[in-house]
Amino acid sequence: MKKSNAYIIKNGEVIASTTTNLKNGASIEFSYQICQENINASREYNLVNSSTGKISRAKKWDYEARCVCRSAIEINPGEFQLISSSIEEN
């Protein structure tokens, strides 16, 4: 499956938008905080204080996702780091 736009959903709310090749409904973990992995060479980072959510590509999340200024990067398979986007006003 090619990577495509998707949303991270938890408790019926959009947490962030992302790009992934995971299937709809896949359980994932997400967090703002990460730390370096020093033991397992196949992983560069680990999530800290992570929460669980699901992947969705349903169109019903389009509007809500535009209102949430967060995106996520998949740092390991099924693990996402949240990135906040800030909009500066003049």
Tell me which DSSP letter residue 2 carries: -
Tell me, yes or no, whether 67 lies in a domain.
Answer: yes
pLDDT at 86 exceeding the cut of 70: no
Tell me which DSSP letter residue 60 carries: G
41, amino acid identity: A
Tell me, yes or no, whether 23 lies in a domain.
Answer: yes
Buried b (16+ CB within 10 A) or exposed e, 33-62: ebeeeeeeeeeeebbeebeebbbbeeeebe
Tell me, yes or no, whether 89 lies in a domain.
Answer: no
pLDDT confidence bin for 90, thresholds 50/70/90:
very low
Q: Are strands 79-84 and 27-31 parallel, antiparallel or unpaired?
A: parallel
Q: What is the mean pLDDT of the chain?
A: 89
Tell me, yes or no, whether 31 lies in a domain.
Answer: yes
Instruction: Determine the structural domain holding residue 60 and report its residue range.
Output: 4-84
pLDDT digit string (tens) for 11-55? 999 999 999 999 999 999 999 999 998 888 888 899 999 999 999
The number of residues making up the chain comes to 90
Predicted TM-score of the model (pTM): 0.86
Tell me, yes or no, whether 49 lies in a domain.
Answer: yes
Tell me which DSSP letter residue 44 carries: S
CA distance linking residue 88 with residue 54, whole number of Å: 30
